[in-house]
C-alpha cells in the first residue's frame, strides 16, 4: 500500500472538514504570507495567527525520555488461553485479566532502544524495551520489560551511575566505551548482561523478531491472599527470533536509522500482525536457600528445567497509532501500575523503578498525563485527585454530587470499592540495612550463558568485546579479562588473546607507518642534497 492510499483511507471526512483553521476554529484564507507594511515591509505584532502558529511550533517537543527515548508503538489485544490443565492460573492469581478462556483485553505496546536519543539508529547494540499497557476492567496494568531476561545491576541506587557511564561523555558528547567498561569492570554483577549484549543477542533484527521479559520478579496473589513469585516472558509466536551480527547491523545502518520502526509499521499496515505468547515462571514466595542465587536478583535467569514456562495467553498487535506524538511519545508506562491480584516483590530494582516512572512522567508529559487517551484507563475513573496543569475530565463527577471532591462523605461523591479477596500481608522480621544480598554469584550464570552460545555467537562476542575494550586503558582491560576468566576460563583467555592480537596489529601498523614516514623524509632529504 502506498503512503497516499493510506492517508486517503484514514481521511473519511465531511466536505467542510478539510478546511484549514486556526486552533480557535477560525478559517485560514492565506497560509503563505504574513501581514507586512507593504509587500516588502516589516511585520506587525498584531499578526496573531502567525504568532500563534510559530509559538505553538516552538513548543512542539516535550523532553525526551531520559532512557528509552527512541521507540515505536502499536495497539492490539491480549487473549487468555484458558482453563485447561496447567493453563489454569486462577489458583495463583485473582487478577481478572487472567481469568477464563479466550478473554480479550486491549493493549498498547511500545518498543524502544535504551541509550540513544529520539532519532538515534535502531541498529544500536543495546537492550530493547518491551513495554505493554493492558487496559483491564480493573484499571490499567503495565508490564515494563526488555527483550533480554536479565539486567546489568541489581540495586536501583546504581541506575543513574550506570546510565551516565553508558551515555555520551558529558564534555565531548561522544559515546565512549571506556567510561562504560570503567563502570562495568567495577560492577561484576553486570557481566552476565554484558555477555548477552555483546553477543548477537545485543542487536535484535527488529521489534517483531524478538522476545520480551518483565525481568524483575513480581508476585501473583490469589483469593486467599497467598502469593507466589512470578517472572513474565513474551515469546514471538508467528515470527522467528532473529539477531544481527555487527556487520549486518552496520550494513542496515548505512541505509536507514529507522528500520525497526518501518518494519513494525509496514507489517501491521499489510495485515501481518505480530503475535507473542505470554509465559510465566512461578516460584514459591520464599528465599529458596537451595538455589545458588537469590530469586529476587534480576541479573539471574530462573532455570527453565526447574521453573518451566507456563503459557497463559497471546498478544496480537493489529493497529498502528494514528499519531506518533499523541500515542507513542506521550505514552507513560510504569512498574507501579498493577491491578488487584498482581503485586510487587521485594526485588530492589523493581522497588526503585516503581518510584521513578511516574515521577519522570509528571515532569516529561505533565501532572495530568493520566488523562491523555493513551494513558487513561478504558473504564470509569472516580478519583478526587483533580486540578493541575491541563486538567480536563468532566466525567469524573458524572452522576455524582459535583461539590464533593473528598472522601468519606455523607453527601455523595465516590465510595471505596468492595475488596474481592484477602490482602496479601507478608511478614518481616529483620533490621534495616544498607547491604548487598548474600548470594551474589556474579560468575556462575555468566559462564553458563557463554557456554550455551553457538560457536559463531562466541566469535561475535569476542570480536565485539575486543572492539570496545581495545580503546580502554590496560587496567580496565585486565579487570574485564579477570572477571570473564572467573566466569569461564576459555572466555577470558579468548578475550585476552584477541586483545593482544589487536595490540600487536596496531603496533605493527604504527611501526610500518613510522617506517614509511621515515622513508619519505629520507628521500625528500636526499632530493634536497
Ligand atoms: C523507561 C527508570 C530499570 C525498562 C524508563 C524511564 C525511566 C526509567 C525514568 C523513562 C520513562 C518515561 O519517561 O516515560 C528506570 C530505573 C531503573 C530502570 C530507575 C532501575 C532502577 C529498568 C529495567 C527495565 C526497564 C530493569 C527492563 C525490565 C524500561 C522500558 C522503558 C523504560 C521498557 C521505556 C518505556 C516506554 O516505552 O515508554 N526507565 N528504569 N527499566 N524502562 Fe526503565
pLDDT of 529 reads 47
**Would you please indicate which residues are annotated as catalytic (active-site) residues?**
68, 146
How many degrees, rounded to 5, is the angle at CA 276 between CA 273 and CA 281?
A: 170
pLDDT of 274 reads 98
Q: Is the pLDDT of residue 457 over 90?
A: yes
pLDDT of 75 reads 99
Cell triple for residue 137?
A: 476492567
Smallest CA separation from ligand 1 atom 17, residue: 353
With cut-offs at 50, 70 and 90, classify the pLDDT of residue 401: confident
- How large is the average pLDDT for residues 251-273? 98
Q: In this predicted structure, which of 147-156, 380-389, 500-509 has the lowest mean pLDDT?
A: 500-509
- How large is the average pLDDT for residues 188-216? 98
Give the domain ranges of the chain. 71-152+205-371, 443-504
- How large is the average pLDDT for residues 249-267? 98
Looking at 11-144, list the stretches that DSSP marks H as alpha helix, in order from N- to C-terminal side.
48-58
Cα(363) to centroid of ligand 1, in Å? 15
148/154 Cα distance (integer angstroms) = 15
Rounded percentage of the chain residues whose pLDDT exceeds 90: 86
What number of CA atoms fall less than 13 Å from residue 423's CA on the CB side? 4
At a CB cut-off of 8 Å and minimum separation 6, what does 18 contact? none
Cell triple for residue 399?
A: 452522576
461/467 Cα distance (integer angstroms) = 10
State the closest ligand 1 atom to the C-alpha of 131, by its place in the atom list counted from 1: 33
pLDDT of 17 reads 81
At a CB cut-off of 8 Å and minimum separation 6, what does 405 contact? 384, 386, 397, 413
Q: The domain 71-152+205-371 belongs to what CATH superfamily?
A: Catalase core domain (2.40.180.10)
Q: Give the residues surrounding ligand 1 with Cβ less than 6 Å away.
A: 65-68, 71, 110, 112, 129, 131, 144-146, 151, 156, 159, 215, 331-333, 349, 352-353, 356-357, 360-361, 364
pLDDT of 505 reads 85
ipTM over 0.90: yes
Q: Are 189 and 299 in contact (CB under 8 A)?
A: yes
- How large is the average pLDDT for residues 225-247? 98
Smallest CA separation from ligand 1 atom 37, residue: 110
φ, ψ of residue 226 in degrees (nearest 5): -85, 145
- How large is the average pLDDT for residues 439-454? 98
Q: Is the pLDDT of residue 508 over 50?
A: yes
pLDDT of 485 reads 98
pLDDT of 13 reads 56
521 versus 248: the higher-pLDDT residue is 248
Residue among 128, 174, 176 nearest 148 (CA): 128
Rounded percentage of the chain residues whose pLDDT exceeds 70: 91
Cα(183) to centroid of ligand 1, in Å? 19
Query: Residue 229: beta bridge partners?
Result: 219, 283
pLDDT of 3 reads 60
With cut-offs at 50, 70 and 90, classify the pLDDT of residue 176: very high
- How large is the average pLDDT for residues 49-65? 96
Helical axes 177-185 vs 159-166, angle rounded to 10°: 150
Amino acid at each position: 500500500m502506498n503512503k497516499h492510499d493510506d492517508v486517503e483511507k484514514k481521511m473519511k471526512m465531511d466536505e467542510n472538514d478539510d478546511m484549514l483553521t486556526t486552533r480557535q476554529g477560525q478559517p485560514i484564507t492565506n497560509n503563505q504570507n504574513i501581514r507586512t507594511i507593504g509587500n516588502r515591509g516589516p511585520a506587525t505584532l498584531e499578526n496573531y495567527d502567525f504568532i500563534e502558529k510559530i509559538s505553538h511550533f516552538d513548543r512542539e517537543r516535550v523532553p525526551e525520555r531520559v532512557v528509552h527515548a527512541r521507540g515505536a508503538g502499536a495497539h492490539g489485544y491480549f487473549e487468555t488461553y484458558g482453563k485447561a490443565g496447567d493453563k489454569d492460573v486462577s489458583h495463583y492469581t485473582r487478577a481478572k485479566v487472567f481469568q477464563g478462556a479466550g478473554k480479550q483485553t486491549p493493549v498498547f505496546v511500545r518498543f524502544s532502544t535504551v541509550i540513544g536519543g529520539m532519532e538515534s539508529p535502531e541498529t544500536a547494540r543495546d537492550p530493547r524495551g518491551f513495554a505493554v499497557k493492558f487496559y483491564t476492567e480493573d484499571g490499567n496494568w503495565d508490564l515494563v520489560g526488555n527483550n533480554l531476561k536479565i539486567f546489568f545491576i541489581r540495586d536501583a541506587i546504581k541506575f543513574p551511575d550506570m546510565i551516565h557511564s553508558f551515555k555520551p561523555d558529558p564534555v565531548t558528547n561522544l559515546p565512549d566505551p571506556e567510561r562504560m567498561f570503567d563502570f562495568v569492570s567495577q560492577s561484576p554483577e553486570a557481566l552476565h548482561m554484558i555477555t548477552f549484549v555483546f553477543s548477537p543477542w545485543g542487536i535484535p533484527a527488529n521489534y517483531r523478531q524478538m522476545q520480551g521479559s518483565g525481568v524483575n520478579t513480581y508476585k501473583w496473589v490469589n483469593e486467599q491472599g497467598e502469593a507466589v513469585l512470578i517472572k513474565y516472558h513474551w515469546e514471538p509466536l508467528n515470527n522467528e527470533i532473529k539477531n544481527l551480527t555487527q556487520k549486518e547491523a552496520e550494513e542496515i545502518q548505512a541505509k536507514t536509522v529507522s528500520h525497526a520502526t518501518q518494519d513494525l509499521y509496514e507489517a501491521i499496515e499489510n495485515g501481518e500482525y505480530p503475535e507473542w505468547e505470554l509465559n510465566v515462571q512461578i516460584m514459591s514466595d520464599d528465599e529458596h536457600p537451595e538455589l545458588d542465587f537469590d530469586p529476587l536478583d534480576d541479573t539471574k535467569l530462573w532455570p527453565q528445567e526447574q521453573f518451566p514456562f507456563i503459557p497463559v495467553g497471546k498478544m496480537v498487535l493489529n493497529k498502528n497509532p494514528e499519531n506518533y506524538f499523541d500515542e507513542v511519545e506521550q505514552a507513560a508506562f510504569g512498574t507501579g501500575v498493577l491491578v488487584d491480584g498482581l503485586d510487587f516483590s521485594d526485588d530492589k530494582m523493581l522497588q526503585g523503578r516503581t518510584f521513578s516512572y511516574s515521577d519522570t512522567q509528571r515532569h516529561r508529559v505533565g501532572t495530568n498525563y493520566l488523562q491523555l487517551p493513551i494513558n487513561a484507563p478504558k473504564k470509569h475513573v472516580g478519583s478526587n485527585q483533580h486540578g493541575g496543569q491541563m486538567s480536563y475530565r468532566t466525567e469524573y463527577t458524572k452522576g455524582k454530587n459535583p461539590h464533593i471532591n473528598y472522601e468519606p462523605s455523607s453527601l455523595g461523591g465516590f465510595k471505596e470499592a468492595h475488596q474481592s479477596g484477602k490482602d496479601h500481608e507478608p511478614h518481616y522480621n529483620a533490621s534495616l540495612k544498607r547491604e548487598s544480598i548474600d548470594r551474589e554469584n556474579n560468575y556462575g550464570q555468566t559462564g553458563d550463558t557463554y557456554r550455551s552460545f553457538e560457536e559463531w555467537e562466541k566469535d561475535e562476542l569476542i570480536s565485539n568485546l575486543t572492539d570496545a575494550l581495545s580503546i580502554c586503558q590496560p587496567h580496565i582491560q585486565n579487570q574485564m579479562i579477570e572477571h570473564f576468566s572467573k566466569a569461564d576460563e576459555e572466555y577470558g583467555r579468548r578475550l585476552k588473546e584477541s586483545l593482544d592480537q589487536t595490540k600487536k596489529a596496531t603496533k605493527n601498523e604504527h611501526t610500518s607507518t613510522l617506517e614509511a614516514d621515515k622513508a619519505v623524509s629520507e628521500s625528500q632529504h636526499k632530493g634536497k642534497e
